């Protein structure tokens, strides 16, 4: 099976082509494939957490995940390592972006990449060449030094937090849907606004323009959406906003 490199990043303009070009210039095997870009909401560690965990669920054993997403004022350690489940390899800054991923896949090996100092666009000049070496099988202990698991930054994502908004304006948020039946009416609060919504298992079966909370496609997370309209734009919400709801 070919080894796949997956870039998860908010560098979605020409910067991604630079990253991909560096990888292709450094690998020496047709058995390594650079997958299409997985975009993340700019500067959002919350969205990075969700997106990494989502694609990890789908990709095969041995995939190399490269996360380039760093809104931090201080330069965090660059982490490299391998998971216990599915033998994934990973590289990314110690910002909290690995919280969900590490919780569900575990950590078998963890190192801090040797720091060559600051470079403008370190993703291109430091990160990408190291990812290429990882994909080609270079031992991790030759790329960095052991990093204590206790020093890994963990991100707290409270109940109700919006973790992803797709291109249809559907909002995935942390929570559970218990004690609800088809057609139950709900009050939904978000950003100081209260909406009238209904619960449905299939939101597209409802009338156009109706607000619906329903079981989503990702790990059972609930979703809020406006049928056949972009609800997120109408509400002007963003990743990290909180949704609460109760049955009327």
DSSP 133-184: HHHTT--GGGTEEE--GGGS------TTBEEEE-TT--EEES----S--TT-
Tens digit of each residue's pLDDT (9 = 90 or more) over 197-217: 999 999 999 999 999 999 999
- HSE, CB side, 13 Å, CA atoms: give it for residue 188: 27
List of domains in the chain: 3-151 (3.40.50.10790), 162-247 (2.40.30.90)
CA 10 vs. chain centroid, Å, equals 11
Mean pLDDT over each residue of the chain, to the nearest integer: 96
Number of C-alpha atoms within 13 angstroms, CB side, residue 84?
7
pLDDT average, residue stretch 123-136: 94
Dump pLDDT digits (tens) for 221-239. Answer: 999 999 999 999 999 999 9
Using alpha carbons, select from 2, 25, 17 the residue that is nearest to residue 129: 25
Q: Are 212 and 224 in contact (CB under 8 A)?
A: yes
Q: Alpha carbon of 137 to those of 21, 29, 92, 130, 140: distances in Å?
A: 19, 11, 18, 11, 8
pLDDT band at 38 (very low <50, low <70, confident <90, very high): very high
pLDDT of residue 116: 84
- Element spanning 108, H or E: none
pLDDT at 119 (0 to 100): 84
What mean pLDDT do residues 30-43 have? 96
With 0-12 CB in 10 A as exposed, 13-18 as middle and 19+ as buried, what is 88? Answer: buried
| pLDDT value at residue 220 | 86
* pLDDT level of residue 28 (50, 70, 90 thresholds): confident
């Amino acid at each position: 099976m070919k080894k796949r490199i997956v870039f998860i990043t908010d560098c979605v303009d020409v910067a991604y082509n630079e990253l991909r070009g560096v990888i292709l210039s450094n690998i020496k095997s047709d058995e390594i494939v650079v997958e299409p870009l997985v975009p993340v909401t700019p500067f959002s560690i919350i969205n990075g957490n969700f997106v990494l965990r989502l694609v990890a669920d789908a990709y095969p054993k041995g995939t190399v995940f490269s996360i380039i997403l760093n809104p931090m004022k201080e330069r965090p350690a660059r982490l490299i390592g391998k998971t216990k489940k599915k033998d994934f390899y990973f590289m990314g800054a110690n910002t909290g972006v690995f919280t969900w991923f590490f919780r569900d896949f575990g950590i078998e090996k963890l190192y801090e990449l040797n720091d060559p100092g600051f470079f403008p666009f370190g993703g291109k000049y430091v990160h990408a060449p190291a990812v290429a070496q990882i994909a080609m099988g270079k031992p991790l202990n030759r790329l960095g030094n052991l990093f204590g698991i206790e020093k890994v930054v963990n991100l707290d994502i409270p109940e109700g937090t919006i973790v992803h908004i797709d291109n249809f304006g559907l909002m995935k948020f942390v929570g559970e849907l218990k004690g609800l039946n088809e057609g139950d009416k709900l009050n939904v609060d978000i950003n100081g606004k209260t909406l009238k919504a209904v619960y449905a298992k299939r939101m597209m079966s409802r009338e156009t323009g109706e607000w619906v909370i329903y079981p989503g496609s990702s790990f059972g997370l609930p979703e809020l959406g406006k049928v056949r309209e972009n609800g997120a734009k109408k509400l002007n919400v963003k990743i990290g906003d909180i949704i609460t709801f109760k049955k009327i």
